[in-house]
A and B are shown apart, each in its own frame.
Chain A
Amino acid sequence: MVKTLVAIALCLCVAVPAGAAAPAAPKPPKPEWSELTPAQQKVLEPLKEDWTSLDTVRRKKWVKVADRYPKMKPEQQRRLQAQMKEWARLSPEQRRAAREKFLAIKKLPPEKRAQLKAQWDLYQQSLAAKSDTATTDDAGAVSTH
Protein backbone atom coordinates (compact mmCIF):
# COMPACT_ATOMS: atom_id res chain seq x y z
CA MET A 1 0.00 0.00 0.00
CA VAL A 2 2.83 2.37 0.92
CA LYS A 3 4.56 1.56 -2.36
CA THR A 4 1.35 2.31 -4.24
CA LEU A 5 1.01 5.68 -2.54
CA VAL A 6 4.64 6.48 -3.30
CA ALA A 7 4.04 5.63 -6.96
CA ILE A 8 0.94 7.85 -7.13
CA ALA A 9 2.81 10.69 -5.43
CA LEU A 10 5.66 10.32 -7.90
CA CYS A 11 3.30 10.46 -10.86
CA LEU A 12 1.51 13.50 -9.44
CA CYS A 13 4.79 15.29 -8.75
CA VAL A 14 5.79 14.76 -12.34
CA ALA A 15 2.46 15.37 -14.05
CA VAL A 16 0.95 18.23 -12.04
CA PRO A 17 3.60 20.92 -12.69
CA ALA A 18 3.53 20.17 -16.41
CA GLY A 19 -0.25 20.39 -16.61
CA ALA A 20 -0.60 23.32 -14.26
CA ALA A 21 1.95 25.47 -16.09
CA ALA A 22 -0.33 26.39 -18.98
CA PRO A 23 -3.56 27.72 -17.46
CA ALA A 24 -2.03 29.26 -14.30
CA ALA A 25 -2.19 33.02 -13.75
CA PRO A 26 0.54 34.79 -15.78
CA LYS A 27 3.69 35.34 -13.75
CA PRO A 28 5.47 38.69 -14.01
CA PRO A 29 8.31 38.52 -16.54
CA LYS A 30 11.78 37.83 -15.16
CA PRO A 31 14.41 39.01 -14.53
CA GLU A 32 13.48 42.52 -13.41
CA TRP A 33 15.84 45.29 -14.51
CA SER A 34 16.94 45.67 -10.88
CA GLU A 35 17.87 41.98 -10.77
CA LEU A 36 20.48 42.37 -13.53
CA THR A 37 24.12 42.72 -12.58
CA PRO A 38 25.67 46.18 -13.08
CA ALA A 39 27.65 44.77 -16.04
CA GLN A 40 24.48 43.41 -17.69
CA GLN A 41 22.66 46.70 -17.05
CA LYS A 42 25.49 48.61 -18.73
CA VAL A 43 25.38 46.43 -21.85
CA LEU A 44 21.59 46.44 -22.05
CA GLU A 45 21.25 50.16 -21.30
CA PRO A 46 19.62 50.85 -24.73
CA LEU A 47 16.82 48.44 -23.73
CA LYS A 48 16.18 49.90 -20.27
CA GLU A 49 13.22 51.95 -21.44
CA ASP A 50 11.56 48.95 -23.15
CA TRP A 51 12.52 46.32 -20.54
CA THR A 52 9.04 46.27 -18.97
CA SER A 53 7.46 45.40 -22.32
CA LEU A 54 9.71 42.36 -22.85
CA ASP A 55 8.49 38.91 -21.82
CA THR A 56 10.57 36.40 -19.84
CA VAL A 57 11.86 34.55 -22.91
CA ARG A 58 13.16 37.73 -24.53
CA ARG A 59 14.61 39.08 -21.29
CA LYS A 60 16.54 35.85 -20.76
CA LYS A 61 17.72 35.97 -24.34
CA TRP A 62 19.07 39.49 -23.85
CA VAL A 63 20.78 38.45 -20.62
CA LYS A 64 22.55 35.71 -22.59
CA VAL A 65 23.54 38.25 -25.25
CA ALA A 66 24.85 40.56 -22.50
CA ASP A 67 26.90 37.72 -21.06
CA ARG A 68 28.59 37.25 -24.45
CA TYR A 69 29.36 40.97 -24.73
CA PRO A 70 32.79 40.94 -22.98
CA LYS A 71 34.06 38.38 -25.51
CA MET A 72 33.10 40.57 -28.49
CA LYS A 73 35.48 42.87 -30.37
CA PRO A 74 35.00 46.63 -29.72
CA GLU A 75 33.53 47.12 -33.21
CA GLN A 76 31.03 44.29 -32.60
CA GLN A 77 30.13 45.76 -29.21
CA ARG A 78 29.44 49.11 -30.86
CA ARG A 79 27.26 47.54 -33.57
CA LEU A 80 25.30 45.55 -31.01
CA GLN A 81 24.51 48.52 -28.80
CA ALA A 82 23.69 50.71 -31.79
CA GLN A 83 21.10 48.25 -33.14
CA MET A 84 19.74 46.71 -29.95
CA LYS A 85 16.92 49.15 -29.29
CA GLU A 86 15.57 49.24 -32.82
CA TRP A 87 15.84 45.44 -33.10
CA ALA A 88 13.86 44.93 -29.90
CA ARG A 89 11.08 47.13 -31.27
CA LEU A 90 10.59 45.02 -34.41
CA SER A 91 7.62 42.68 -34.58
CA PRO A 92 8.28 38.96 -33.89
CA GLU A 93 7.60 38.25 -37.59
CA GLN A 94 10.17 40.82 -38.71
CA ARG A 95 12.78 39.41 -36.34
CA ARG A 96 12.05 35.87 -37.54
CA ALA A 97 12.33 36.94 -41.18
CA ALA A 98 15.63 38.74 -40.51
CA ARG A 99 17.05 35.69 -38.69
CA GLU A 100 16.10 33.39 -41.56
CA LYS A 101 17.72 35.70 -44.11
CA PHE A 102 20.80 36.10 -41.92
CA LEU A 103 21.20 32.33 -41.57
CA ALA A 104 20.81 31.86 -45.32
CA ILE A 105 23.46 34.51 -46.04
CA LYS A 106 25.74 33.05 -43.38
CA LYS A 107 25.96 29.88 -45.45
CA LEU A 108 27.41 31.79 -48.43
CA PRO A 109 31.19 31.72 -49.01
CA PRO A 110 33.08 34.64 -47.36
CA GLU A 111 33.78 36.38 -50.70
CA LYS A 112 30.06 36.38 -51.56
CA ARG A 113 29.25 37.84 -48.15
CA ALA A 114 31.90 40.53 -48.61
CA GLN A 115 30.40 41.30 -52.01
CA LEU A 116 26.95 41.63 -50.46
CA LYS A 117 28.31 44.08 -47.89
CA ALA A 118 29.88 46.13 -50.69
CA GLN A 119 26.56 46.09 -52.58
CA TRP A 120 24.70 47.24 -49.46
CA ASP A 121 27.10 50.18 -49.12
CA LEU A 122 26.59 51.01 -52.79
CA TYR A 123 22.82 50.79 -52.35
CA GLN A 124 23.00 53.15 -49.36
CA GLN A 125 25.07 55.58 -51.42
CA SER A 126 22.53 55.46 -54.26
CA LEU A 127 19.72 56.16 -51.76
CA ALA A 128 21.65 59.09 -50.31
CA ALA A 129 22.33 60.45 -53.82
CA LYS A 130 18.62 60.15 -54.69
CA SER A 131 17.66 61.95 -51.51
CA ASP A 132 20.19 64.73 -52.26
CA THR A 133 18.83 65.12 -55.81
CA ALA A 134 15.26 65.33 -54.51
CA THR A 135 16.26 68.00 -51.99
CA THR A 136 18.08 70.02 -54.69
CA ASP A 137 15.08 69.73 -57.04
CA ASP A 138 12.72 70.87 -54.31
CA ALA A 139 14.96 73.82 -53.51
CA GLY A 140 15.17 74.71 -57.23
CA ALA A 141 11.40 74.47 -57.60
CA VAL A 142 10.90 76.79 -54.63
CA SER A 143 13.40 79.38 -55.93
CA THR A 144 11.78 79.56 -59.41
CA HIS A 145 8.37 80.39 -57.90
Chain B
Amino acid sequence: MNEHELARKIVQRLNGGLDLIKQGTLYRLQTARQAALERYREVPQPAFNPALAGAGFRASHGRFFNTRTLIAMGLLLLSLISVTYWQYVAQANDVAEIDASLLTGDLPFNAYLDSNFEAWLKRSSQ
Protein backbone atom coordinates (compact mmCIF):
# COMPACT_ATOMS: atom_id res chain seq x y z
CA MET B 1 0.00 0.00 0.00
CA ASN B 2 1.60 3.32 -1.01
CA GLU B 3 1.25 6.63 0.83
CA HIS B 4 -1.48 8.06 -1.42
CA GLU B 5 -3.65 5.02 -0.99
CA LEU B 6 -3.21 5.12 2.76
CA ALA B 7 -4.07 8.84 2.89
CA ARG B 8 -7.18 8.28 0.77
CA LYS B 9 -8.35 5.54 3.14
CA ILE B 10 -7.75 7.72 6.22
CA VAL B 11 -9.69 10.66 4.71
CA GLN B 12 -12.51 8.29 3.73
CA ARG B 13 -12.66 6.92 7.28
CA LEU B 14 -12.59 10.42 8.83
CA ASN B 15 -15.33 11.71 6.52
CA GLY B 16 -17.39 8.63 7.31
CA GLY B 17 -16.94 9.25 11.04
CA LEU B 18 -17.91 12.93 10.71
CA ASP B 19 -21.61 12.08 10.68
CA LEU B 20 -21.21 10.00 13.82
CA ILE B 21 -19.81 12.92 15.94
CA LYS B 22 -22.31 14.12 18.50
CA GLN B 23 -23.63 17.70 18.34
CA GLY B 24 -22.07 18.55 21.75
CA THR B 25 -18.63 17.32 20.67
CA LEU B 26 -18.89 19.33 17.44
CA TYR B 27 -19.73 22.46 19.42
CA ARG B 28 -16.74 21.93 21.76
CA LEU B 29 -14.40 21.42 18.81
CA GLN B 30 -15.70 24.60 17.16
CA THR B 31 -15.25 26.62 20.35
CA ALA B 32 -11.70 25.33 20.83
CA ARG B 33 -10.84 26.25 17.23
CA GLN B 34 -12.26 29.75 17.70
CA ALA B 35 -10.27 30.25 20.92
CA ALA B 36 -7.07 29.07 19.21
CA LEU B 37 -7.62 31.53 16.38
CA GLU B 38 -8.23 34.38 18.85
CA ARG B 39 -5.02 33.60 20.67
CA TYR B 40 -3.12 33.48 17.39
CA ARG B 41 -4.32 37.01 16.51
CA GLU B 42 -3.29 38.36 19.91
CA VAL B 43 0.41 37.50 19.45
CA PRO B 44 2.15 40.93 19.30
CA GLN B 45 3.99 41.88 16.14
CA PRO B 46 7.69 42.61 16.59
CA ALA B 47 8.16 46.39 16.71
CA PHE B 48 11.35 46.50 14.69
CA ASN B 49 10.47 44.01 11.96
CA PRO B 50 10.00 46.50 9.12
CA ALA B 51 13.10 48.48 10.05
CA LEU B 52 15.33 45.47 10.46
CA ALA B 53 14.05 43.47 7.49
CA GLY B 54 16.27 45.48 5.14
CA ALA B 55 19.25 44.99 7.40
CA GLY B 56 19.00 41.23 7.09
CA PHE B 57 17.46 40.51 10.50
CA ARG B 58 14.95 37.74 10.83
CA ALA B 59 11.60 38.30 12.50
CA SER B 60 12.75 36.27 15.49
CA HIS B 61 15.73 38.60 15.99
CA GLY B 62 13.52 41.67 15.67
CA ARG B 63 11.73 40.78 18.91
CA PHE B 64 14.96 41.27 20.78
CA PHE B 65 15.07 44.90 19.76
CA ASN B 66 11.60 45.88 20.88
CA THR B 67 10.84 49.17 22.59
CA ARG B 68 11.05 47.76 26.11
CA THR B 69 14.51 46.30 25.47
CA LEU B 70 15.73 49.57 24.03
CA ILE B 71 14.42 51.56 26.98
CA ALA B 72 16.03 49.07 29.36
CA MET B 73 19.34 49.40 27.47
CA GLY B 74 19.02 53.19 27.58
CA LEU B 75 18.41 53.14 31.33
CA LEU B 76 21.34 50.79 31.83
CA LEU B 77 23.61 53.12 29.87
CA LEU B 78 22.30 56.09 31.82
CA SER B 79 23.00 54.41 35.14
CA LEU B 80 26.51 53.40 34.00
CA ILE B 81 27.27 57.00 33.02
CA SER B 82 25.85 58.25 36.34
CA VAL B 83 28.02 55.84 38.32
CA THR B 84 31.13 56.86 36.35
CA TYR B 85 30.33 60.55 36.86
CA TRP B 86 29.80 60.19 40.62
CA GLN B 87 33.00 58.19 40.91
CA TYR B 88 34.81 61.03 39.15
CA VAL B 89 33.23 63.62 41.46
CA ALA B 90 34.05 61.53 44.54
CA GLN B 91 37.65 61.11 43.38
CA ALA B 92 37.98 64.87 42.75
CA ASN B 93 36.62 65.57 46.23
CA ASP B 94 39.04 63.06 47.73
CA VAL B 95 42.03 64.69 46.02
CA ALA B 96 40.91 68.15 47.18
CA GLU B 97 40.54 66.87 50.73
CA ILE B 98 43.91 65.10 50.69
CA ASP B 99 45.69 68.16 49.28
CA ALA B 100 44.04 70.47 51.80
CA SER B 101 45.08 68.20 54.69
CA LEU B 102 48.57 67.67 53.28
CA LEU B 103 49.25 71.37 52.78
CA THR B 104 47.89 72.39 56.17
CA GLY B 105 49.54 69.58 58.16
CA ASP B 106 52.41 69.83 60.64
CA LEU B 107 54.91 68.47 58.13
CA PRO B 108 55.72 70.51 55.02
CA PHE B 109 55.14 68.63 51.76
CA ASN B 110 58.90 68.54 51.16
CA ALA B 111 59.16 66.04 54.01
CA TYR B 112 57.18 63.52 51.94
CA LEU B 113 59.41 63.97 48.90
CA ASP B 114 62.86 64.30 50.48
CA SER B 115 64.61 60.97 49.97
CA ASN B 116 67.57 62.24 52.02
CA PHE B 117 65.26 62.66 55.01
CA GLU B 118 64.19 59.05 54.62
CA ALA B 119 67.84 57.94 54.54
CA TRP B 120 68.62 60.18 57.53
CA LEU B 121 65.73 58.60 59.46
CA LYS B 122 67.05 55.12 58.72
CA ARG B 123 70.57 56.09 59.79
CA SER B 124 69.42 57.73 63.00
CA SER B 125 67.23 54.76 63.94
CA GLN B 126 70.17 52.32 63.73
Residues of A participating in the B interface, judged by any CB pair closer than 8 Å: 3-4, 6-8, 10-11, 14-15, 18, 57, 60-62, 64-65, 68, 72, 76-77, 79-80, 83-84, 86-87, 90, 94-95, 97-99, 101-103, 105-106, 113-114, 116-117, 119-120, 123, 126
Residues of B participating in the A interface, judged by any CB pair closer than 8 Å: 47-48, 51, 67, 70-71, 73-74, 77-78, 81, 92-93, 95-109, 111-113, 117, 120-121, 124
Cα–Cα distance between A113 and B112 once the two chains are bound (Å): 13
Q: Are B109 and A83 in contact (CB under 8 A)?
A: yes
Q: Are A14 and B77 in contact (CB under 8 A)?
A: yes
**Distance of A50 from chain B, by nearest CB (Å):** 15
15 chain-A/chain-B pairs, Cβ below 8 angstroms = A7-B70, A10-B71, A14-B74, A14-B78, A61-B99, A65-B96, A72-B104, A83-B109, A87-B99, A99-B98, A99-B99, A116-B111, A117-B107, A123-B121, A126-B120
Q: Are A14 and B81 in contact (CB under 8 A)?
A: yes
**Distance of A62 from chain B, by nearest CB (Å):** 8
Which of A18, A65, A86, A101 meets B81, CB within 8 Å?
A18
Chain B residue at minimum C-beta to C-beta distance from A98: B112
**Distance of B67 from chain A, by nearest CB (Å):** 4
State the majority secondary structure of interface residues on A: helix
Q: Are A11 and B113 in contact (CB under 8 A)?
A: no
Q: Are A87 and B103 in contact (CB under 8 A)?
A: yes
Residue of B93, B100, B108 contacting most chain A CB atoms (<10 Å): B100
**Distance of A125 from chain B, by nearest CB (Å):** 11
Given contacts A65-B96, A126-B120, 4 further A-B contacts (CB under 8 A): A61-B99, A90-B113, A94-B113, A123-B117
Chain A residue at minimum C-beta to C-beta distance from B109: A98
**Residues in A neighbouring B48, C-beta threshold 8 A:** 4
Residue of B47, B78, B107 contacting most chain A CB atoms (<10 Å): B107
Q: Are A113 and B106 in contact (CB under 8 A)?
A: yes
